[in-house]
Every structure is written in C-alpha cells, then in structure tokens.
Copies of this chain bind each other. A is one copy, B any other.
Amino acid sequence: MSEIIKVGVVGATGYTGVELLRLLSSHPGVEITVVTSRSEAGRPVADLFSNLRGHIDLRFVAPDLDDLTECDLVFFATPNGVAMTMVPELLDAGVKVIDIAADFRLQDADEWQHWYKMEHVCPDLLEEAVYGLPEVNREQIADARLVANPGCYPTSVQLGFLPLIEQGLVDAEHLIADTKSGVSGAGRQAAVATLLTEASENMKAYNVDGHRHLPEITQGLSAISDSPVALTFVPHLTPMIRGIHATLYADLIVDDVDLQELYEEYYIDEPFVDVLPPGVSAETRSVRGSNMCRISVYRPQGGDVVVITSVIDNLVKGAAGQAVQNMNIMFDFAETCGLESVAIIP
C-alpha cells in the first residue's frame, strides 16, 4: 500500500461532496487536508453535514491554489466548468486531479462546447485526460495525472452494454437505454422541480430530446465497438433519493450465444461488478451506499431482443465511490480500499 496521501476536495457542499467525504474519512491511506467552498467558507464541514460530526474536523475554506498545490490529489466535486479553470495549474504543480464533474469527459472540444454551452478553457487537456471507468481503462488510470470521472448514467449504461458491444453481438446502431434515477442526481440546489412535494409520488421522463450524458455514453461505447454506435437515451426522474436503474435493449445479430455466461466471465475479476444469477432482478437498494454495480441479463421469450438491467448507487459507483476507486488505482492502494462497506437493506 501507498503511504498516506494528502487530499483536497474542491466544492464539497453538494451530494457528491458529502459522499466523497464520507468515503474518504474512513480510508486508511488518506488525509483530507483541504475542503473548499466559497459560500460556506469558515463553517465547520460537519455543521453542514451532521453525519460527519466526529469524523471530519475541518472547516470549509475558499478555494486557493496555494493550499491545493500542497495536496497529492485534488478531487473536483464542483458544477461543470469550474475544474477546467484550476486544473492546468494544479497539474503544473505536480498535483494529480480527479474531476467528478464533466469538464474532461468528452474528447472533442466542439462536442463538449455544444452540450455544455460554454467555452472550454483548456481543450488541450482533453486528450490527456483518462476516462475513469476502471473496467475499461484501468491501466491508463494507473498512470494518469488527470482522470475524468464518468457520469452516473454513463457508468450504469456502459457497464451494462460493454460485453455485448465489445463482442459485436448486437446491432450497435440501434441501442436503447431507458434509465431511471433517484432525485439526488439533480444535486443539492434549491429548486422547485425536486421538492419532495413535486418529485415524490411521481414519475416522469426528462431531457428526452437530448441529455448531456448521451455523447459521453456514445463516445465510451464507440471506443470499444468495431461498428458505429447509435443510442436512444431516455432518463426518468424516480421518487427515491439514491439509485440508478438502467434498462437496456439491444437486437442480437448472432444467435448462438449464452448471454448469462458471457456476462459472468466478462466481469469475473471485477471487484465492483456483480452479475446476478438467472432470474434474479437487479434492484437499486441492493447497492445503496455501496460501490457495486449489479447486472441482470434477460432474453425474453428467447427472442432477438436482449434486455440488460444495471443498477448502481448514483452517488457511489456513479460519482464519489468510483472517484475513490480511481484514486486507489492511481496511488496503488488496493482497489477496494475504503469501498468495502455493505449496501444497506432495508
């Protein structure tokens, strides 16, 4: 195991931030040295998040490069567009960076600018940045200075489709991802649409005409596909706090394949992907609070449509937990270190 590393967290007042602090506070190889927030500077972190009382004694400070360059690693748990303004200087100072936001997820600056509606200030770093999905890019992550932590939907959808696409078993130009997310995916901003009174006892699709995670998924699947990839992606807001349930549909183009066996073998060595036995439904609560992705594989009525269900905790494997997994890989900790906790049922 590595020595103790110094870690900073920029923008820790959102749900990704508190979840990251929860995980890091029990990681034996980490000392959290800086936690920043402009709006909460001066306030004890555990005042904002009472679950951290007794676990984190720091106060929020305003983000400052001098503080952050003393870290070995800085996480960005900021809104999109913040990390890119600070990352170049941090890298120059020899600090490694994991951006949990989206600033470095797309390799094409034009496409990034199209979807994120702002100019990218360091497009040259897009090529260097490693997309932090360990099940695909473990080796590159180990050597990376800058990791782009995947989005929540992209994690669940890619892990669900990977074996099929990589093996060329389905029509990659006709994929469907019907995804359902808990409300924490919308963040900790004051907003009417995510009030309990609006989002509870309710179900709706949103951003059907185009969601920012669509190009990220397409880019990821294209990288491992021999043929072009086209995806219809429909996210839904679901009345629960945590969890993503992706239901994936694809058309088989080969007939003679044991899908269950394929998935089990594909993920046999992965610590955080669990292929469920035939007939067992992946459910989001089975991963609540844990870094696990669980997957169920179906071929209804033995027909040509494959149905994959893939569940994660959007704040763990879909954000903070995967960031810690990436940190473990980058700093040569055991990959599961700090991520062993059991999901909470009920």
Known: A195-B195, A210-B300, A232-B307. A22 touches B342 (CB 8 A): yes
Q: Which residues of B contact A340 (CB under 8 A)?
A: 26
Known: A249-B232, A289-B344. A240 touches B202 (CB 8 A): yes
Contact A210 B301 (CB under 8 A): yes
Q: Which residues of B contact A186 (CB under 8 A)?
A: 197
Interface residues on A, range: 35 or more
Contact B241 A197 (CB under 8 A): yes
Of B50, B54, B178, the contact of A178 (CB 8 Å cutoff): B178
Contact B281 A204 (CB under 8 A): yes
Q: Which residues of B contact A138 (CB under 8 A)?
A: none
Contact A26 B342 (CB under 8 A): yes
Of B52, B183, B196, the contact of A183 (CB 8 Å cutoff): B196
Interface: A37 (CB within 8 A): no
Q: Give complex CA distance A195, B241 in Å.
A: 10
Known: A239-B238, A249-B176. A342 touches B52 (CB 8 A): yes
Q: Which residues of B contact A174 (CB under 8 A)?
A: 251
Residue of B nearest to A282 (CB): B204
Q: Min CB distance, A246 to chain B, in Å?
A: 10
Interface: A31 (CB within 8 A): no
Q: Which residues of B contact A285 (CB under 8 A)?
A: 51, 201-202
Interface: A198 (CB within 8 A): yes
Q: Give complex CA distance A176, B305 in Å.
A: 10
Q: Min CB distance, A201 to chain B, in Å?
A: 5
Q: Give complex CA distance A346, B199 in Å.
A: 9
Interface: A192 (CB within 8 A): yes
Known: A53-B274, A307-B232. A188 touches B192 (CB 8 A): yes
Contact B197 A54 (CB under 8 A): no
Known: A25-B342, A240-B239. A289 touches B289 (CB 8 A): yes
Stretch at the interface among A100-108, A119-127, A260-268, A290-298: A290-298
Q: Min CB distance, A219 to chain B, in Å?
A: 16
Q: Which residues of B contact A222 (CB under 8 A)?
A: none
Most B CB contacts (10 A, CB to CB) among A197, A208, A245, A283 go to: A197
Q: Which of A235-266 contact B (CB under 8 A)?
A: 236, 238-243, 245, 247, 249, 251
What 1/0 mask marks residues of chain A from 149 to 187 whose CB sits below 8 Å from any chain B CB? 000000000000000000000000010101010111010
Q: Give complex CA distance A31, B341 in Å.
A: 17
Residue of B nearest to A286 (CB): B50
Interface: A30 (CB within 8 A): no
Residues of A within 8 A of B (CB): 15, 18, 22, 25-26, 49-55, 174, 176, 178, 180, 182-184, 186, 188-192, 194-206, 208-210, 230, 232-234, 236, 238-243, 245, 247, 249, 251, 274, 276, 279-290, 294, 296, 298, 300-301, 303, 305, 307, 309, 311, 315, 340-346
Known pairs A15-B197, A18-B346, A22-B342. 8 more at Cβ < 8 A?
Answer: A50-B345, A51-B286, A53-B274, A176-B305, A191-B195, A209-B279, A210-B301, A233-B300
